[in-house]
Amino acid sequence: VYAELSSGDFFGEVALLFKCPRTASIRTSAHCDLFVLEKNDLDDILTRFPKIKAQVNEVASQRLEFVKQKTKEEMALKGLSWSDDEEDEEDEEKEEKEVNTSSGDT
C-alpha cells in the first residue's frame, strides 16, 4: 500500500502528465463515486486553472519520486541495480528547455 486516499483526492495523474505507464493500482474499501477525465480534458482544465495545475503537478511529482524510490529499493533487494541514465537525459533536456525559454528561444 503506497497511500490511502480520501474524499476529494485524485489518482491517475502520473501516467497522464508524464506519459508513462500507470504507477499504481487502486482498490476501494467502501463505495466511491468516481469522475473520469481523459487526457485532453485534464489538459484543458489544467490550462484554465493554473493553481490547480500547480497542485496536481506537485502531487504527481511527489508520487513519481516515491515510486522511483520504491522501485530502486525493490531492485536492490533482488540484487539488481538502477540506472540513472534516463533520469540524467531527462534532466539535461529539462535544463536545455529552461535555458532556451529564459533566453527567449522556443
Spatial separation of the C-alpha atoms in residues 53 and 72, rounded to whole Å: 28
Note the pTM of the prediction, 2 decimals: 0.66
Reported as a single tens digit per residue, the pLDDT across 4-31 is 888 888 898 999 998 888 888 888 888 9
Q: Which residue from 45, 44, 34 is spatially nearest to 12, judged by alpha carbons?
A: 34
Q: Reduced to 3 states, what is the DSSP secondary structure of residue 7?
A: coil
Q: What is the pLDDT of residues 34-77, one digit of tens each?
A: 889 999 999 999 999 999 999 999 999 999 999 889 889 988 98
Beta-carbon contacts of 15 under 8 Å, excluding residues fewer than 6 positions away, are: 21, 22, 23
- DSSP code of residue 51: H
Q: Percentage of the chain surpassing pLDDT 70? A: 78
